[in-house]
Amino acid sequence: MNPPLRRPLLRLASIPFMLFTAGILPGQDPVADPANDDALASLKAADMDVRIEALRELQTSLDPRLPEAFLPLLSDEGDSIRRLASRGVGSRWHQIPAPRTAAFLAALRPLLADKENHPDVANMADRATGLLSRRYEGPMFSASPDGKWIVYERFGLPCLLDLGRNNEELIGWGGTDREGWFAPAWSNGEVSTAAIWESQSRVVALDMILSRKVSSLWFWIADGSRLVRLDPVDVAAPFLPPKARLEFAGGFFTTPRRWLGDEFQFELFFSTVDPVTEEYTDREAVAGWNYRTGVIRPVPEGERPAPAP
């Protein structure tokens, strides 16, 4: 994914969720779409590039023919094809009937065995396996301590499964007006370190990428089902020297670390420019955000988490 470099404009804000039921977007019915006929036929093409392009074209469709069409591609010769097919199968867990689940799990199993050489393929197979088997124990999922919610990556965003109500909610969904990417989406990476739950399951911290050079954190708060986005300008404010200007050209990066009571602590890297000399200075800090007060503060050295390995 290569989003355009842009300066985020949002300030601290809370927004309500949009609700998804059984993984189906509002207003969409899972019916066969004739517009997919050519792409479905291309999944059987001899040319690997044609198969890959067809898979990419079909990734966001809910055409009910897709799970079975993706199934043989799980054993394709191409790594990218197996990865995309695994993603496509996992994202359509709700469309695969129980009698067919075993066949899909069997086809995914060989992909799980070679994570050392093909980690992205194995991760997508792990994601699909967990969703199909309703077992969310692997690193592609982050379970709340009370076992009520599961976070996984879908459509480039954090997806929240409410196991009590059997509902799915796509966190931060805004149609085509995308405001961030869940960090695991960029590398088909693990979710367990990118969605960190507070000990009482009241809040989950989400590692988000806003552009190629800007990252930040979002927080889903269970009370009221609210989403809070931290804006980099607000995050950096307590750390800016007098009159210094925040400069995004060198990047603005946050690294999630841990919850300490009501506060989430994270590492911060950014650059500033002296308004007189125009000299750049790279800065590192540790910040804390309190989910009850919304306050961002510098974390003293004695309160900081241990350095990352």
The per-residue pLDDT for range 117-143, each reduced to its tens digit, is 899 999 999 999 999 999 999 999 999
Q: Which range among 11-25, 81-95, 174-188 has the greatest average pLDDT? A: 81-95
Contact criterion met (CB below 8 Å) for 113 and 74? no
CATH number of domain containing 113: 1.25.10
Q: Mean pLDDT in the chain?
A: 88
Contact criterion met (CB below 8 Å) for 8 and 216? yes
Any domain includes 201: no
Any domain includes 118: yes
Any domain includes 204: no
Per-residue pLDDT at 36: 95
The two structure tokens encoding residue 133: 């088997």
Q: What residues make up the domain containing 77? A: 17-179
State yes or no: pLDDT of 302 exceeds 90.
Answer: no
Exposed / middle / buried, residue 155 (Cβ in 10 Å: 0-12, 13-18, 19+):
middle
Contact criterion met (CB below 8 Å) for 42 and 50? yes
Total count of domains within the chain: 1
State yes or no: pLDDT of 6 exceeds 50.
Answer: no
Residue 294, sorted as left (phi over 0), alpha (psi -120 to 50) or beta, turns out to be: left
pLDDT one-digit tens code per residue, 215-265: 999 999 999 889 999 999 999 999 998 888 999 988 999 999 999 999 999
Nearest alpha carbon to residue 142 among 186, 206, 99: 206
Contact criterion met (CB below 8 Å) for 230 and 168? no
Per-residue pLDDT at 24: 45
In one-letter notation, the amino acid at residue 223 is D
Any domain includes 275: no
Any domain includes 196: no
CA distance 200 to 79: 40
Per-residue pLDDT at 306: 73
State yes or no: pLDDT of 13 exceeds 50.
Answer: no
Residue 57, sorted as left (phi over 0), alpha (psi -120 to 50) or beta, turns out to be: alpha
Any domain includes 61: yes
Any domain includes 165: yes
Question: CB 36: neighbour CB atoms within 10 A?
Answer: 17
Any domain includes 301: no
In one-letter notation, the amino acid at residue 71 is L
